[in-house]
Structure 1
Amino acid sequence: MSASPLEQDPSSFAGTRHTLQRVLGVRIAMAVVVGNVIGSGIFLKPGNIAGECGSFPIIISVWVLGGVLCFLGALCFAELAAMLPQAGGMYVYLREAYGRPVAFLFGWSEFLFSRPASIGALAVAFVGSLALANNWQLSSPGQAALAGLLIGSVAWINILGVIWGGRLQMVVTVIKVAFLALVALSPLLVLPFSETTFELANYATTVVPRQTTLAGQVGAVLLAVMWAYNGWDGVTPLAEEIRDPGRNIPLALFGGIGVLVVLYVSANFAYHGVLSMSQIADAGDHAAEQMLYRLFGSLGLSAMSAVIMCSTFGAINTNFLQAPRITFAMGRDGVFFRILGAVHAVYRTPSVAIVVNALMAFLLVLAVALAKFLLRDLSAESFRSNLAQQVIASLQADTIFDLLTNFVIFTASIFYTLTVLAVIVLRIRRPDLKRPYKAWGYPLAPAAFLAVYVWFLWQIYWSKPLESHTGLMLIALGIPVYFLYQYLAGKRTKADS
């Protein structure tokens, strides 16, 4: 009897001519966690959060809650990754817990939308900061073109070798962690020279929130906060290329999330200490720039643009370290086109999967930019359907960045929930499996994570119908695709035999 995928060594997969190499240590693994998460959210989301909620105690509590959720999730992901040190991360865990159809739906959503949307949103944020620094006025198609150039460049670096992508990630992560720490400390550094820049009274200021209920406020803030934390599991798709994964993956997850929580909470105290709630809300996507502008003038504004560019560039790079490994795992499993499971003979990277993910990201940015351009003068009230009106209004009012990020978090949250549940499922179904690391606090840790995430998904489903309905529709589209591909693959196998 052949071994199940759970018990196989990655190098033993049938038809695999070249294999991935275990070349990444714990420092690069932790850099992937931190570098993937620190992207655009901590800089671009505070203004939207202030408008949705309007109360600092609630805002800072949700930032802490987001960190706690990541830590609870990391306890579970560390067990799964140490037990299944294969490329693909959540795809592998879902496959073993629920079967290939469910794993395919995750890979499908990552391939079709979630990862391309993440890469695209980050590329657009980079281009936006570049335009702000140079005082450029870019149209939506112009933004898409520059974003495409950036996406292609980072993809090429990652094709050249995982160690090049890893080293680049290490350098960029050190730079942006230092910058974010400086941003968090800047009000205190300036305090001896200017007593008016930091006001404790700002923490008590409020605005009338867009969400009228406490549950709605927490749900809306958590949606934005979880974008800022999105990618905390980012080292797991690289498990097949990490040395001593049973030790290094848990260390990378816990250490990286600890750094993130400290930086994010500190940065929010800095923002709200310098700016009042109304000033942050009015700043929209540029609250961080406004804080440094108030502290340092135009020099601070330029510095923050550089910080955001560096930060988003690093997050794009980590997405290219992760996303192609999921597509690669699907191709190697034979649940999608097998060419996606190819490893480059020279560079030993999943080059085909990297190219395909880059193309998907660019096409998604281009599609959203084109939709905004074509619908810019259309009246939403001319449509009878309420859903159609919401779609048109969102495309007209929201930025490309906000449209992409909100879709990502809803769909990602569904699979985060299923993956944490997989820890319980596999403990029951396969208690015999070797677990180099076991989740601390089991079963309370996964139960607490699941309770909050189920509530969160319920809130988003009712408060953000465009994001939730579209996300569910895109996931559901994968069901006929999976069975159609399996049917065609079966026919090809019969024809070849």
Structure 2
Amino acid sequence: MGKDAQLKKNIGFWAALSTVIGTAIGGGVFFKTPVVTQVTGSANMTLLAWLIGGLVTICAGLTTAELSAAIPETGGMVEYIHHTYGKTPSFMLGWAEMVIYFPANIAALSIIFSTQFSSLFNINQKYSIPIALLVAFSITFINLLGSKAAGHFQTFATIFKLIPIAIIIIFGLFAKQGAPVPLFPIQAGHNINFFSGLGQGLLATMFAYDGWIQVGNIAGELKKPKEDLPKAIIIGLLGITVIYLLINFVFLKTLPIGQIMGNDSTAAEAAKVIFGDFGGRLVTIGILVSVYGAINGYAMTGLRVPYAMALDKTIPFSKQLSHLSKQGIPVAATLVQLAIAIVMIFVGGFNTLTDLLVFVIWIFYTMTFAATIILRKREPDMKRPYKTLFYPVTPIIAIIGGIFIVVSTLFTQTGLALIGLGITLIGLPVYWIAKKRNG
């Protein structure tokens, strides 16, 4: 009750809606279409993967919102897992976020920024890793200046990132040139299994939709959570789904599907076709600003995870990791995040890293969806300012979607999944050792 009492209920519907859209839309929408088209092999199955991804995300957001309103504490999902399953699983989530989720996001987006930057300015691809490292270092430097500087930049990037998306959709839909995009019958490409292709396509879209979990963190500060939270989630995530479907339709309409498959420069090439060389370059610069802002968002949020864990004394070197600079920034925690991201830049590509982080985080997302049902039965008298719409259908759809993503990754990318599980499970002995040392 203490934390809940301190929260001021001053957030209205429009602020909640902008939070939904701002946290979810990042760099993934521009760079996941090449993967989805490659694994599905067809235009209509590509759009189906994006549609299912959006519907699963809407159910996930509505399900998690109940927990967010009932447990409106700083830490979000870590607190929901702790309340439902106990300290060890909540530590495992924090550990996974610290060593995989946030650093992998920073590394993956730094890599894709680098490849797009190199392509735009005709720089030799051998410089892609140095440029990616420069991006990661510069973002870290911005965050070391203090949360105010990082926050100002994030506000600018959030507004700016919607511009290239809007321009591509509006002009792309009305452009005359392009290939036909047949919507029916929905079928996989040549020599591609329907369910395997759909599973891998759905996994790829989940990176673009990721970020929705942050929505619920403002539940305790909403003026009218019962009315505004479900409206903001449904309208926001439905809007994002429509935006993603439209921009993918434009890509498929503008370029032959064979030119999109596996081509990380799809967005830039589509922009060139629609606007010409100069206009295409301007749109690509807008995309780069959007990606840079997304990296900053993950860096800002991510550095607080090891700091919070250090305050709880659940990780080694807790004293150093919890120390704050004059600017109020946990410097050691920030540098740990950077160090892990640097290692990932050297060892993984964009798609490998994004698939890894989606697989690991969706294990905990699925546990969170299940927590809604568990707590309804275990704590029926818990104060719930907002209850999940269409319960229990909505959480069941979210759980099935989560299980599908996790299991399909285990079958289609077994090695990657085992690496993710292995790194996550390393957290157990770390937790036990730290717990023993700190009593």
Category of TM-score, reference length = shorter chain: 0.7 to 0.9
Report 1:383-402 matches (<5 A): 400-402=349-351
Aligned-pair CA distance for 1:351: 5.3
Which residue in 1 is equivalent to 2:405?
Answer: 456
* TM-score in terms of structure 2 length: 0.88
Find the aligned partners of 2:3 and 2:278 in 1 and give their Cα distance: 54
Looking at structure 1, the residues matched to 218 and 108 of structure 2 have their Cα atoms a distance apart, in angstroms, of 22
Deviations 1:167-218 (A, max 9, x none): 4333212222121021112223433xxxxx1343566899984763111011
The answer as to 2:148 corresponding to 1:145 is no
**Which residue does the alignment assign to 2:419?**
470
The offset of 1:363, in angstroms, is 3.2
- Distance 1:215-1:439 versus aligned 2 partners, 3 A rule: same
Report the CA distance shift for 1:21/1:478 in structure 2 as closer, same or farther (over 3 A).
Answer: farther
> 1:245 & 1:346 partners in 2: Cα distance?
37
Q: Which residue is equivalent to 1:363? A: 343
1:409 aligned onto 2:358: yes
* Counterpart residue number, 1:178: 163
Q: After the TM superposition, which residues 291-440 of structure 1 pair with which residues of structure 2 at under 5 Å, given as runs?
A: 291-337=270-316, 338-339=318-319, 342=322, 344=324, 347-348=327-328, 352-366=332-346, 368=347, 400-440=349-389
Task: Map Cα deviations across residues 238-274 of structure 1 (whole Å, 9 max, x no partner).
Answer: 779x676957766654454233112101101111112
Distance 1:361 1:22 in 2: 36
Matched residue, 1:71:
58
Counterpart-to-counterpart distance in 2, 1:87 and 1:22: 15
The change in CA–CA distance for 1:52 and 1:301 in structure 2 (over 3 A counts) is same
TM-score when normalising by structure 1: 0.78
Q: Is the 8 A contact 1:205 1:276 kept in 2?
A: no
Q: 2:68 and 2:224 mapped to 1: Cα distance?
A: 8
Distance 1:138-1:199 versus aligned 2 partners, 3 A rule: closer
Alpha-carbon shift at residue 333 of structure 1 (Å): 3.0
Deviations 1:31-58 (A, max 9, x none): 5543443333221221222121122222
1:15 corresponding residue in structure 2: none
Secondary structure of the residue aligned to 1:440 is coil
Question: Out of 152, 155, 160, which is 2:140 matched to?
Answer: 155
Q: Distance in 2 between matches of 1:160 and 1:83?
A: 35
Structure 2 gap segments, 5+ residues each: none
Distance 1:57 1:202, change over 3 A: closer
2:257 to 266, 274, 277: 277
Aligned residue for 2:109? 122
- Work out the CA distance in 2 between the residues paired with 1:249 and 1:25: 9
Tell me what 1:103 maps to.
Answer: 90
> Which moved further from structure 2: 333-342 or 102-111?
333-342
2:377 is paired with a residue of what secondary structure?
A: helix
| The 10-residue stretch of structure 1 (44-53 or 247-256) with the greater mean CA deviation from structure 2 | 247-256
Q: Is 2:64 the partner of 1:82?
A: no
Matches within 5 A, 1:224-235: 224-235=204-215
Q: Percent identity?
A: 28
Please give the alpha-carbon distance, in whole angstroms, between the structure 1 residues aligned to 2:36 and 2:175.
26
Distance in 1 between residues matched to 2:308 and 2:218, nearest whole Å: 11
Cα shift readout 1:219-247 (whole Å, capped 9, x = no counterpart): 0111111111122213456779x676957
Q: SS of 2:112's equivalent?
A: helix
Judge conservation of contact 2:116–2:265 (CA < 8 Å) in 1.
Answer: no
Match of 1:135, SS state, is coil
- Mean alpha-carbon deviation: is it higher for 170-179 or for 27-36? 27-36
CA RMSD of aligned residues (A): 3.2
Tell me if the contact between 1:81 and 1:236 (Cα under 8 Å) persists in the aligned partners. Answer: yes
**Residue number in structure 2 paired with 1:268:** 248
Q: How much has 1:82 moved relative to structure 2?
A: 2.0
CA distance in 1, matches of 2:329, 2:222: 16
Q: Which has the larger radius of gyration?
A: 1
Q: Show the counterpart of 1:9.
A: 3
- Cα distance in 2 for residues equivalent to 1:324 and 1:477: 20
Give the CA deviation at 1:145: 3.2
Worse-matched range after superposition: 263-272 or 48-57: 48-57
Q: Distance in 2 between matches of 1:423 and 1:302?
A: 46
Aligned to 1:447: 396
User: How many correspondences in the alignment?
Assistant: 437
Match of 2:267 in 1: 288
Q: Measure how far apart 1:286 and its partner are.
A: 1.8
In the other structure, the counterpart of 1:377 is none
1:163 Cα shift? Answer: 4.9
Distance verdict in 2 for CA 1:349–1:125, change over 3 Å = same
Q: What letter is aligned with 1:95?
A: H
Asked if structure 2 preserves the Cα contact closer than 8 Å seen for 1:115 and 1:319, the reply is: yes
8 Å CA contact 1:21, 1:348 repeated in 2: no
State the distance in 2 between where 1:268 and 1:178 align: 16
Gaps of 5+ in 1: 1-6, 13-19, 192-196, 370-399, 491-497
Letter in 2 for 1:411: V
Check conservation: 2:74, 2:217, Cα contact below 8 A.
Answer: yes
Structure-2 residue corresponding to 1:390: none
Taking structure 1 as reference, are residues 314 and 408 closer, same or farther at Cα in structure 2, changes over 3 Å only?
A: same
**8 A Cα contact 2:313 2:434, kept in partner:** no
